[in-house]
Amino acid sequence: MSLRAALLALIEVRGPSSGYDLTKSFEGSLAHVWQASHSQIYPELNRMAADGLLKVEEEGPRGRKTYAITAAGQAELHEWLTEAKPEQRVRDEASLRAFLLPLLPTQKAIELLTEQARAAEARKVDLEALRRKVGESSFGGFALERGLRHMAAEREWALWAIDRLQKSEEARTETVRTPTGEPE
Amino acid sequence: MSLRAALLALIEVRGPSSGYDLTKSFEGSLAHVWQASHSQIYPELNRMAADGLLKVEEEGPRGRKTYAITAAGQAELHEWLTEAKPEQRVRDEASLRAFLLPLLPTQKAIELLTEQARAAEARKVDLEALRRKVGESSFGGFALERGLRHMAAEREWALWAIDRLQKSEEARTETVRTPTGEPE
DNA sequence: AGCCGACATGTCAATCTCAACATGTAAGAG
DNA sequence: CTCTTACATGTTGAGATTGACATGTCGGCT
């Protein structure tokens, strides 16, 4: 359902568009939040036209078909935006990896977390650059800010986890050195 | 690949388990990070056994089959945990909704964001309760902390977005009331 | 004229996921 | 003995997604 909503929304804001245009849009800033390639988009546009949500407004050169949103399409989009209950479940490889982290030896876990903190920081820098480029209040601005905040949270979590692992490792080493009682 | 990794990891930490056991595990705290139902788990276990990652250790009453991890399975798990590059792409309905937020009239957007902030807070409270229940350093502890931080970020983002929308709405109303120059 | 890159649309097979359908056993309560 | 609940394992059909295959056009450069 999300692909439909995304396509309806894109056509709503861009005006009548071809599958090719929409594919390009999915390669732009939208790629940060949802991905779809032409092999998914073209069939979906055909289905949506068959369902009356879109209509082929114009057939141009090179077989180009321009889809426009219909009243039914606008209704469907509005319905999705306001009524449809958002999918709550997370299914995120990063979450799963965080869950399974204790399976790794401390040192290896710290290495991975360090890399992850670095990656989150890099992604944050990218998003900041994107914001400077597209301006404060461009279309995807809310999503951009959201991404930034989540990346910051991710990075801080990784640093917290590293710290925790290091402390427990120190405690362990200490215990080994002086198994009982005070040192010396 | 993630389902395989999750199943291998569960069997690694739980010891030999049946599909039924593993299905129950997916209904527990693991459900916060990854979901799988028995209709996905049973066939996957069979494939993994065929691939030599698991072996049927024991057949019990009621057709119960207990799967144990093999050396190849342990190798595969270790490989996934340490070598496999994590999937970076996000495909998250919440992100898409954030992206499309400007399509809504300000008031409606504020309503939805308010609900979202509430939902994030509720989820945060749930996770805190879970942590109190299972203890500080239980198996999923890192993922739990990560979830908490992301929920906090989500809530703060929603509040920020509400504030921003309210300010732009006030500015708009103000402009309407006094189209040019100073009031009065 | 020939070639290349961008434009433009499709199909297909494989994989993942979900909800629904389907079947049967064992244990305990009444 | 019957009923219910938990145990236990499947299959199947539909939808989502990906990567590879496939085809053809148009404009500009050499």
**Considering the entire predicted model, what is its pTM?**
0.92
Q: How far is the CA of A113 from the C1' of C20 (A)?
A: 41
CA A59 → CA A16, A19, A39, A43, B80, distances in Å? 12, 12, 20, 17, 48
Asked whether the beta carbons of A150 and B154 are under 8 A apart, the reply is yes
Per-residue pLDDT of chain B (184 residues; tens, 9 = 90+): 999 999 999 999 999 999 999 999 999 999 999 999 999 999 999 999 999 999 999 998 899 999 999 999 999 999 999 987 888 888 999 999 999 999 999 999 999 999 999 999 999 999 999 999 988 888 999 999 999 999 999 999 999 999 999 998 888 888 777 666 555 5
Instruction: Mark residues 28-57 of chain A whose C-beta is closer than 7 A to nucleic acid strand C.
Output: 38-39, 42-43, 45-46
Q: Name the residue in chain B with its Cα closest to that of A35.
A: B91
Residue type, A5: A
Compute the average pLDDT of residues A125-133: 94
Residue B14, CA atoms < 13 Å, CB-side half-sphere: 19
B72 CB within 8 Å of a chain A CB: no
- Nearest CB partner across the interface for B102, out of A93, A96, A142: A142
Q: Determine the residue among B127, B146, B149, B172 to mutate to test chain A binding: the one whose Cβ has the most chain A Cβ atoms within 10 Å.
A: B146
Least Cα separation, residue A28 to chain B (angstroms)? 12
A97 CB within 8 Å of a chain B CB: yes
Residue B124, CA atoms < 13 Å, CB-side half-sphere: 15
Question: What's the pLDDT at A137?
Answer: 83
Instruction: Mark residues 15-44 of chain B whose C-beta is closer than 7 A to nucleic acid strand C.
Output: 35-37, 39-40
Asked whether the beta carbons of B69 and B54 are under 8 A apart, the reply is yes
CA B83 → CA A59, A105, A108, B86, distances in Å? 49, 14, 11, 9
Look at A27 and A88; give whichever has higher pLDDT. Answer: A27
B89 CB within 8 Å of a chain A CB: yes
**Sheet-wide strand order for A17-18:** A17-18, A65-69, A54-59
Q: From CA B103, how far away is CA A78, in angstroms rounded? A: 9
Q: From CA A25, how far away is CA A20, in angstroms rounded? A: 9
DSSP secondary structure letters along B39-104: HHHHHHHHHHHHTTSEEEEEE-GGG-EEEEE-HHHHHHHHHHHHTSPPP-----HHHHHHHHGGGS
Count CB atoms within 10 A of the CB of residue B118: 12
Question: What's the pLDDT at B182?
Answer: 58
- Residues A22-81: tens digit of each pLDDT: 999 999 999 999 999 999 999 999 999 999 999 999 998 899 999 999 999 999 999 999
Residue nearest to nucleotide C26 (CA to C1'): B62
- The answer to whether the C-beta of B15 is closer than 7 A to strand D is no
Asked whether the beta carbons of A26 and A41 are under 8 A apart, the reply is yes
Residue type, A80: W
- The answer to whether the C-beta of B3 is closer than 7 A to strand D is no
Phi and psi at residue B59, to the nearest 5°:
-115, 115
Burial code (b: 16+ CB inside 10 Å, e: under 16) for A71-90 equals eebeebbeebbeeeeeeeeb
- Share above pLDDT 70 across residues of chain A, in percent, rounded to a whole number: 96
Least Cα separation, residue A62 to chain B (angstroms)? 31
Burial code (b: 16+ CB inside 10 Å, e: under 16) for B63-102 equals eebbbebbeebeebbeebbeeeeeeeebebbbbbbbbbbb
Q: How far is the CA of A63 from the C1' of C3 (A)?
A: 22
Tokens of B143: 């993922």
**Cα distance from N-terminal residue to C-terminal residue, chain A:** 67
A65: β partners = A59
- The answer to whether the C-beta of A177 is closer than 7 A to strand C is no
